[in-house]
């Protein structure tokens, strides 16, 4: 199914992405400048540069994928996807970025879950984009960000959660309205433009689902509900 978006919405998302790219590019430029000032490029933190470059590339690739899923495919290909396995992969890819922000990543996969119907590449890109955005939003002190999956009567829910007790549905709706028009449209979650969050929302919309404010155990965050693959349910 082809999704339809307004041109204004596309421009706002592009603005968010462009604004967010300033952060990793600034970190890379600062590291190079420090090496040049010291007259010794060996002092450059290559690990930080590599991580920030990966973050920027992931955001751009996810943004382009979101547009592709929305506009270039007349029928979005859905397939059985293991959310548990995907969360493990996503956590692994986020690990180095989390270390830079002194944040501990935690996986909560309690129980056994049948596959869900999703676009594998799209779901992974959405979770990565969301994870990067929330990690960057944390202050530089010890925190825990949780990637979790759990079952509800409405389907299998997966999301990213943290210490966001004041996060509300009203703030989420306001952030969507301010996308691309404010430097910090989602101050409750991130100090940046929130581009990764909005990119994740775009990708999920192409899969006929969406991000929403969610709660898992004692943490709050953003999550999406996915439907089980009836063909491959565990007995």
**What does the CA dihedral 17, 19, 23, 29 come to, rounded to 10 degrees?**
110
Cα 204 to Cα 144: distance, rounded to the nearest angstrom: 25
User: Do residues 113 and 153 lie in contact, with contact meaning Cβ atoms separated by under 8 Å?
Assistant: no
Positive or negative, the CA dihedral 180, 59, 161, 110 is positive
What pTM was estimated for this model as a whole?
Answer: 0.83
CA distances from 86 to 51, 83, 92, 148 (A): 20, 5, 10, 11
Q: Which two tokens stand for residue 53?
A: 């470059």
Pairing type for strands 103-109 and 116-118 reads unpaired
Q: What is the CATH number of domain 7-232?
A: 3.30.565.10
Please report, for the chain, the start and end positions of each structural domain, with discontinuous segments joined by +.
7-232
The pLDDT score that the predictor gives to residue 232 is 46
3 state DSSP class of 173: helix
User: Do residues 221 and 134 lie in contact, with contact meaning Cβ atoms separated by under 8 Å?
Assistant: yes
User: Do residues 145 and 131 lie in contact, with contact meaning Cβ atoms separated by under 8 Å?
Assistant: yes
Per residue of the chain (235 residues), give pLDDT as tens: 444 445 556 777 777 788 778 888 888 888 888 777 777 777 677 888 888 888 888 888 888 888 887 776 556 788 999 999 999 999 999 998 888 888 899 999 988 899 999 999 999 999 999 998 888 876 555 688 999 999 999 999 999 999 888 788 998 888 888 776 767 777 777 777 788 898 999 899 888 899 999 999 889 999 999 998 864 444 4
**What does the CA dihedral 118, 122, 128, 131 come to, rounded to 10 degrees?**
-60
The pLDDT score that the predictor gives to residue 87 is 96
The pLDDT score that the predictor gives to residue 139 is 57
């Amino acid at each position: 199914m082809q999704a339809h978006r307004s041109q204004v919405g596309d421009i706002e998302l592009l603005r968010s992405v462009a604004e967010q790219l300033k952060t990793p590019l600034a970190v890379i430029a600062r590291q190079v400048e420090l090496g040049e000032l010291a007259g010794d490029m060996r002092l450059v933190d290559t690990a930080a540069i590599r991580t920030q470059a990966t973050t920027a590339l992931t955001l751009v690739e996810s943004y382009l994928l979101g547009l592709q899923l929305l506009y270039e495919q007349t029928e979005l290909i859905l397939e059985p996807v293991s959310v548990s396995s995907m969360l493990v992969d996503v956590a692994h890819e986020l690990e180095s970025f989390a270390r830079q922000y002194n944040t501990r990543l935690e996986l909560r996969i309690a129980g056994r879950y049948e596959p869900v119907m999703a676009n594998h590449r799209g779901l992974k890109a959405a979770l990565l984009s969301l994870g990067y955005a929330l990690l960057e939003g944390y202050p530089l002190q010890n925190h825990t960000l949780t990637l979790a999956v759990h079952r509800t009567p409405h389907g299998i829910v997966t999301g990213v959660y943290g210490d966001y007790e004041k996060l509300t549905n009203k703030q989420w709706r306001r952030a969507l309205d301010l996308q691309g028009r404010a430097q910090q449209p989602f101050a409750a979650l991130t100090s940046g433009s929130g581009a990764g969050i909005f990119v994740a929302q775009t990708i999920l919309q192409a899969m006929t689902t969406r991000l929403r404010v969610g709660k898992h155990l004692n943490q709050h965050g953003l999550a999406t509900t996915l439907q089980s693959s009836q063909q491959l349910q565990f007995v």
